[in-house]
Amino acid sequence: MLGLLAELEKADEEAMSLYLPVGLPLQDIEILVEKVTPAQAVAPDIINLAAHSPTGSALLWGTSRKCLVLPPFPFTERYIAPGYDIEPLGSLLEHDFSIALVLVRSGAYSIGVCQGEKIVSSKTGTGLIHARHRKGGSSQRRFERRREEQMHAFLERVCGHVHQQLEPYATSLDYLVYGGSRTAISSLQKQCPFLQQFEGRTLPPLLNIPPPRSKVLESAVVDIWSSMVTEWHDDTFPDIDSHPKGGLT
């Protein structure tokens, strides 16, 4: 991503830059985009991407390069400037945010704190939770109760490790990111009151990850710092070449 920004900064051509904060209404986004691209309508998919981004977006629109960037961390202010103004996006990406990661699936967890892209503290482990029982009848109900007890005990352990790992950094953390299965994350949030203090500092969860391990934690850090870039060209407009999050960083 920083490489792309360096290329745009060197480009000597007519361009406009538009930064859109999180939560801006769709109508406002359409009006602002028209100010940046008055001679050509933008594909509706681009408007929708910007409107639904949980971190805001940056539209960098020039003669030869036209990019929409969904950053890994939120923009909070709208901003329009002539040229490829990469400073707001570059400053965001170069800032060493302090981020906690809580990855959990049934029977596996990984907790870490990273400063920038460097993991400074982590804890990874497993717990015994039996697979689901499919035979039916009273034996299935007993098995499911036992499984629920195992899951409860496992999440109690995970909560303890979360508290141990994050407490020293709690007041200085910029963001917290959950990862794993949606069900396990939701259950942990309900069972671990310690996590409530981070509700206003959470980034979008990482749901498409394998059972947490140390290597998975390291990969999750890379995902957190990845941007989604959509770039299109006059000769193929309105077709869009899209690089999903993690593909172009």
pLDDT in tens, 119-177: 999 999 998 665 655 555 556 677 677 878 888 899 999 999 999 999 999 999 999 99
Report helix, strand or coil for 7: helix
Which residues does residue 178 pair with via DSSP β-bridges, in sequence order?
Answer: 102
26 within a domain of the structure (yes/no) = yes
Q: Note whether 191 and 236 are same-domain residues.
A: no
State the residue range of the domain holding 22.
Answer: 2-94+226-243
Helix (H) or strand (E) run with residue 35 in it: helix 26-36
Total number of domains constituting the chain: 2
Q: In whole angstroms, give the CA distance from residue 154 to residue 159.
A: 9
Q: Note whether 134 and 197 are same-domain residues.
A: yes
Phi first, then psi: give them for residue 119, nearest 5 degrees.
-75, 120
At position 229, the amino acid (one-letter code) is V
Q: Note whether 117 and 179 are same-domain residues.
A: yes
- On whether the CB atoms of residues 85 and 91 are closer than 8 A, the answer is no
136 within a domain of the structure (yes/no) = yes
pLDDT score, position 147? 74
pLDDT score, position 50? 92
249 within a domain of the structure (yes/no) = no
CATH number of the domain that residue 150 is part of: 3.30.420.60
Edge-to-edge strands, sheet with 108-115:
118-126, 108-115, 98-105, 175-180
Q: Note whether 178 and 232 are same-domain residues.
A: no
39 within a domain of the structure (yes/no) = yes
248 within a domain of the structure (yes/no) = no
Residues with Cβ within 8 Å of residue 88, at least 6 apart in sequence: 19, 58, 75, 79
Q: Note whether 90 and 104 are same-domain residues.
A: no
- Reading the block at residue 99, the tokens are 């981020």
pLDDT score, position 35? 87
Q: Note whether 41 and 55 are same-domain residues.
A: yes
Q: Note whether 105 and 33 are same-domain residues.
A: no
pLDDT score, position 241? 40
Phi first, then psi: give them for residue 196, nearest 5 degrees.
-60, -30
Q: Note whether 42 and 115 are same-domain residues.
A: no
pLDDT score, position 24? 92
End-to-end alpha-carbon separation of the chain, Å? 5
pLDDT score, position 8? 92
The predicted model scores a pTM of 0.84
Q: Note whether 206 and 113 are same-domain residues.
A: yes
pLDDT under 50: residue ranges of the chain: 237-249
What are the counts of helices (DSSP H) followed by strands (DSSP E) for the chain? 7, 10
